[in-house]
Every structure is written in C-alpha cells, then in structure tokens.
Amino acid sequence: MTPEILINDRKIGSNHTPLVIAEIGINHEGDFEKAKKMILDAFEQGAECVKFQCHIIDDEMIENNVKPPNANETIWSIMERCALTFEQEKQLKKITEDLGMIYLNTPFSRSAARRLKSMDVSAFKIGSGECNNYPLIEEIASYGKPVILSTGMNTIQSIEQSVSILENAEIDYALLHVTSMYPTPYNNVRLGCLQQIKEKFPDAVIGLSDHSIGNYTCFAAVPLGASILEKHFTSNKKWPGPDIPLSIDPKELGDLISGSKAIFQAMGGTKTILKEENETAKFAYASVVSINNIEKGEDLTLKNIWVKRPGTGEILAPNFNKLINKKSTQMIPKNTQLEWNMIE
C-alpha cells in the first residue's frame, strides 16, 4: 500500500498532487489584519492550506536572552510580540475554512496544543524543535488527529522514537525533511534525505519544509517523492520580521503551486509510443523515397534511394538498409515514396 493521509477531504501521498503549505507562521508580527491579508492572498493564488504558529509564552519557555540566528532580539521578545490571542486564532481558522482551505497551526507548548484541540483543528503540524519533545508528541498523538512532523535538527534515531509514538497512537502521519537554517544555503538542503527517510519509514508520507531562497528545491523534491511542500509565506517582502527574508510572496506561491502540479503530472511513465504521438510521426518520421528515376530491374543503391519526410510512406527509415541491392519490379519516378510491391 502507498502511504496516504487524509486531512479534511484532501488525500495526501505519492498518488496525489503535492500539498503546498503556505506557512504564515509569525510573519504577521502579531497584527491580525496582516494575518488575514496573507490568508486571502494565499487563497487568491490557489493555496489549499495555510499554517500559523500557536505561542502561549508562559507555557512555552522561561524568560531568556537567547537570540535566534536570524534575529537581533531574543526569542522571548519575538514570540511575546507575535503571539495571537485565542479569539484571533479562532477567527483566522474560520476565515481560512470558510474559503475552503485547510487551517494548520503549530503548537509550541502543551497549552497551545490543548488550545488547538479545543478549536477542533483537522490536523497538527509539529515543528522541528519539538521533533524530540516526546512528552508533547505523546500529548498531541492522544488527540487522534493526523500529524505532520518536521524533522530538522534530528537524526534518524531521534525521529524513530517520535514515529513510534505516532504509530502506537494509530494516527496518520507525515514526515518532513528540514534543514533548520534561516535561510538554508542550497548545499545544505540535502534532498537526499528524502530518500533516506522514505526507506527508513516506509509507512510515512514524506515531504519537504524548505527554508532556502525561492522554489528551486521544492520543485526538485517532487520527483524525489515529496508529497508535502512547506514554505514561509508573506504578502509583502518589505514587511518586518525574522522569517520575511526567506519567505515567498504571492507570485512565488502561485508559481510553486502550479509548478509542483505540472511536475507531478509529468512524473512516471515508460518509454513507449503514445497514440497521441502518431499524428506527429506522420510528418516527423522519414520514408524511403527515390532520389532519381529508377528503371525496372535496377538495383537500389545509395545513388537512387534515400530517406525523406514525411513519414506517410509504406517503408519507413528503419527499413532502409533492407532495400539496398534489391531490384525494383517497376519503373519508379524520382521523389516517389517506395512501397514493398515495388521491390523484388
């Protein structure tokens, strides 16, 4: 069986068009109107899914002076500023789902997970920092909803324990390869990890959460088996925010959605001649023709026959060598497509 998960009515797996997740994350900087605009802009580009981050600071962390590598302020101050209220998150979920899109949110604490459970989210996205937070994964798995788990900053061994929790809970799950660098240089994206994860966890749907610039690596991930593509998204690259520099804008999101669909449709197949190619073959193939008048009984040689378009003759180019040194059974005018009854 090919691994597959279901979120709402959307089937996700290698037999389906990749699901593109537009990660709004904290790009709204705590501004509800910005958050709403990004939902609407993603929808306009054909997005099926948007994702936020749920931060309840007191349960998520202790006050600290740690600065993320892509910011000039502490993680505490960033999240304190960007955290949305319960009511705001419920409103954003309603806006998203009223548009027919999937609403996802990443909880960074037990309180956040319980908040999202109370909101009846259709699935949970767990971030890379929580991939080895086994107590939190156990809490989320107990809710019985599908889980999309990012795996940045983790090894196969630490991912194994998380997968064991998800499988013991008998829930659908997907694993996203991630490099937790913001932005990620192309040489550190490591798309080969997709195959490694696929081989190690054959029951998992796999995908890529990408922090590199642009859509190149997401496009490359599709033929490697990625069924989920996640990118940070913003309506305006001039807005402030630590994740804005690595985010894609509406035009790029539209390109990612249409491009990943096109690549998915182009995958697979075997080297056979399609019936749709036959019309092209009529003009593109070459037939054997006389290049001089040929008398009855004359030997066929390179001096009097050759191959020319169109491919509408009875004898096509692959059979050319079979005719050399054969004799004609009749007079053949120049530029005539040869037929088998003309040959001895």
For each successive 10 residues of the chain (344 residues), what is the average pLDDT? 95 98 98 98 98 97 92 93 97 98 98 98 98 98 98 98 98 98 98 98 98 98 98 98 97 98 97 96 97 98 98 98 98 98 97
Rounded-to-integer distance, Cα 301 and Cα 324, Å: 5
Distant-in-sequence, close-in-space partners of 290: CB < 8 Å, separation ≥ 6: 304, 305, 332, 333, 334, 335, 336, 338
For the chain, domains (ranges, CATH) are: 10-266 (3.20.20.70), 275-342 (3.90.1210.10)
pLDDT of residue 113: 98
Helix (H) or strand (E) holding 270: none
pLDDT of residue 72: 87
pLDDT of residue 340: 98
pLDDT of residue 25: 98
Long-range contacts of 40-43 (CB under 8 A, 24+ apart): 40/95, 40/99, 41/235, 41/250, 41/253, 42/101, 42/233, 42/250, 42/253, 43/99, 43/101
Backbone angles phi, psi at 328, to 5 degrees: -80, 150
Rounded-to-integer distance, Cα 99 and Cα 40, Å: 9
234 close to 22: Cβ distance less than 8 angstroms: no
- Per-residue pLDDT of 109-136, as tens digits, reads 999 999 999 999 999 999 999 999 999 9
pLDDT of residue 1: 82
pLDDT of residue 232: 98
